[in-house]
Structure 1
Amino acid sequence: MNLKQSLKRLLGSAYLNSFGRARLSEAGVVLMLHRVLADSAAASLPHRAPLCVGQSQFEQLLQWLRRHFHCVPLQQLLEFPGADRPRLALTFDDGWRDNAELAYPLLERYEVPASIFLSTDFIGSHQGFWWEAIGETLWQQADSPGAKPLREQLQALDLAPPEALLRRGVDPARSRALGAYLQRLKTLAPQTLQTLADSCPATAAPHALDWAQVQRLERSGLVRFGPHGASHGILTGLDGSALRADLQRSHQALQEHCQAPLGVYCYPNGDHSPQVRAAVAELGYRFALGTQPGLIEAEGNSLLALPRIDVSQANAARPGLLAWRLLQGARA
């Protein structure tokens, strides 16, 4: 850990253990996670670390959260942000299968409730989310015959991967280059991204939860589910009819498959606009989550643009860094 991280960790811990407790008791914290991986080394690679947490670091995070916060269900926190003790709600985006297989057993062990937001078109899919499908194809088998259709399509889009990505090897520099390359792809149209993902070799097991897993987790009473868009496309890039169709499709899927779906929408990629918020409100949602950092205030937040604090591998491994993120969120 470098000097800058050490300083942030020190300041964050000091904040949480002093005047920060009073500030956090007046508000609430919503944490944003995505995936929990069994292999901590794999989770630590630069192209994965912002969205992945190793299972051992996730357990360490839960232990730390229970010491410092009262962990409550998301909807309860949004309805009543303030309390005598700092309160926190845990959320997972996308609906990864490892949410059930690796994260849930630890949530159950430590009795921490969580909310999972599903990209409903992908439930049970073997192709899964474009970021993972494209990223892992380039990371693990970029030079293989199976990856040739992906390479050809990227070439046709004038987005041929850099040569450094086509060489195999667990190299942090290569991983950073892959992360930067995937960021470039985010500007492509949702259908283009899905076409690229569909050209990737199919995985042996689905990336996403299936509905049977969703229903089993919901029956536990510890996990609730809400919509994260249907196609996982950037909603601000859709016109009025396509926007409403995407929102309606994800809303309807939750209504059909869940006993008590959350009254909370979670924007894919965090992107929203007045038009998106109005369309979400038309479906009856009182609350919606973005990705801007901040705290849940009793007053002052837009209920359809609520902030969260993201959790990466780095700040799960060193929760003092997460406390630093809370300090920054309190200042937002």
Structure 2
Amino acid sequence: MPSAEFRHRLFDAGFRAIVASGADRWLKRVAQGHGLILTFHHVDPAPAGAYAPNGLLSITPDFLDAVLGTLVSRGFDVIGLDSVAERLVRPAGDRPFVVLTFDDGYRDNARYAVPLLRRHRVPWTLFVTSDFAEGRGRLWWIELERAIGRLDRVRVPADEAPALDLPAATAEEKMVAFAALYRRLRAGSEERLLATIAVLCDEAGIGVGRMAEELCLSWEELRGLASDPLLTIGAHTITHPMLAKHGEARVRREIGEGRARIEREIGRPVRHLSYPVGDPTSAGMREFAIARETGFDTAVTTRPGHLFPGHADHLHALPRVSVNGLHQSRAALSALLSGVPFLAWNRGRRLSVE
């Protein structure tokens, strides 16, 4: 399997080739949908170090500013999620639209993204995980990063898979160890994933379940933001599970109660849902149906792609385009906004709703 570094170099080369060849312009009419939904996570000016396996989840404020400026200069209408259904069936001429979404509810969004969003006067959506807002819950991907950051070796005993014993003394070794363990844990049950990371955190002297209080917005902070008319607060479940790995009763509770908690705390209706992780192994047709039955107006995945008229019939399986912190370049942004990379990624299919 190619390394993560190799894949990202390949993506970079692809983005540059699309722009250098002009394909982002001459293929745009075929590839670009009526609009797209952009996904962000962290916004932080701190430069990534040599060991930063979650670096793809963080962009700088300067790059966010460049994204917002580019959207305006290229004729995109920046709209809220409430307007997506209507724009899919009633396009505004040749003007594409874009929706800005931020997942998980990180405190750095308020510190670094909000001033830019307000200066550009654009609507945006913040998807909140209710346990994170209460200062608990497992941001396990960050726990895993920090545990490996402190360990010189990563040892995992055999269970459903062979034992793992990997060096982790250097930044390069830590990156390799993180990637190997991440792939292994994502392939298994979520219970096994959380238990394994808890053991590694204990070995590294890191408190499990403490990252949310450090990194995520509290209910008090969220109530302060909620008065902003440009902001829509959406639901991101109670505990951020990979829903497809759990039984139906758990899924219904995560989706329904996660929304109810947010509504109680901020005093506003919550109409939009983001599936945690959001790929096909984490959210599928069962989850789409439950989101619809629970009464959400829309629900978003992380399946990559633009929005086309056919998505009007699948408002609970909407694709998004991730603004990746490892590709903070104008070439990457131009390629993604054109839709051209998704012609190959989705093998020509415009809808991925199963």
Q: Give the TM-score taking structure 1 as reference length.
A: 0.82
Counterpart of 1:147 in structure 2 is: none
Which deviates more, 100-109 or 175-184? Answer: 175-184
Query: Deviation per CA, 1:205-245, whole angstroms, max 9, x where unpaired?
Result: 52211111212222122221111121211111111222212
Residue 184 (structure 2) aligns with: 184
Q: Among residues 9, 21, 26, which one is paired with 2:16 in the alignment?
A: 9
Partner of 2:80: 73
Cα separation, partners in 2 of 1:214 and 1:161, compared to 1, 3 Å: farther
How many angstroms does 1:277 deviate by? Answer: 2.0
Query: What is the match of residue 342 of structure 2?
Result: 329
Instruction: Name the aligned partner's letter for residue 190 of structure 1.
Output: E
Calculate the aligned-residue CA RMSD, in Å: 3.1
How many angstroms apart in 2 are the aligned matches of 1:60 and 1:207? Answer: 25
SS at match of 1:163: strand
Closer, same or farther: CA 291–12 of 1 in aligned 2, 3 Å: farther
Q: Which amino acid aligns with 1:33?
A: F
State the distance in 2 between where 1:22 and 1:274 align: 27
2:237 to 206, 229, 237: 229
Tell me what 1:93 maps to: 103
2:128 to 74, 99, 118: 118
Q: 1:195 to 1:219 in 2, by over 3 A?
A: farther
Indicate the SS of the match to 1:308. Answer: strand
Q: Is the contact between residue 35 and residue 97 of structure 2 (CA under 8 Å) also seen in structure 1?
A: yes
Instruction: Tell me what 2:322 maps to.
Output: 310
Is it true that 1:212 corresponds to 2:220 in the alignment? yes
Q: 1:95 touches 1:117 (CA, 8 Å); kept in 2?
A: yes
The residue type equivalent to 1:294 in the other structure is: G
Mapped pair 1:135 → 2:135: no
Q: Bigger shift: 211-220 or 2-11?
A: 2-11
The alpha-carbon distance between structure 1 residues 242 and 127, as it changes in their structure 2 partners (threshold 3 A), is: closer
Letter in 2 for 1:314: L
- Residue 71 of structure 2 aligns with an amino acid whose one-letter code is L
The worse-fitting range, judged by mean Cα deviation, of 191-200 and 94-103 is 191-200
Shift of 1:22: 8.4
- The CA distance in 2 between the partners of 1:120 and 1:107, in whole Å, is 23
CA distance in 2, matches of 1:182, 1:279: 28
**Count of paired positions:** 318
CA contact (8 A) 1:9 1:323 kept: no
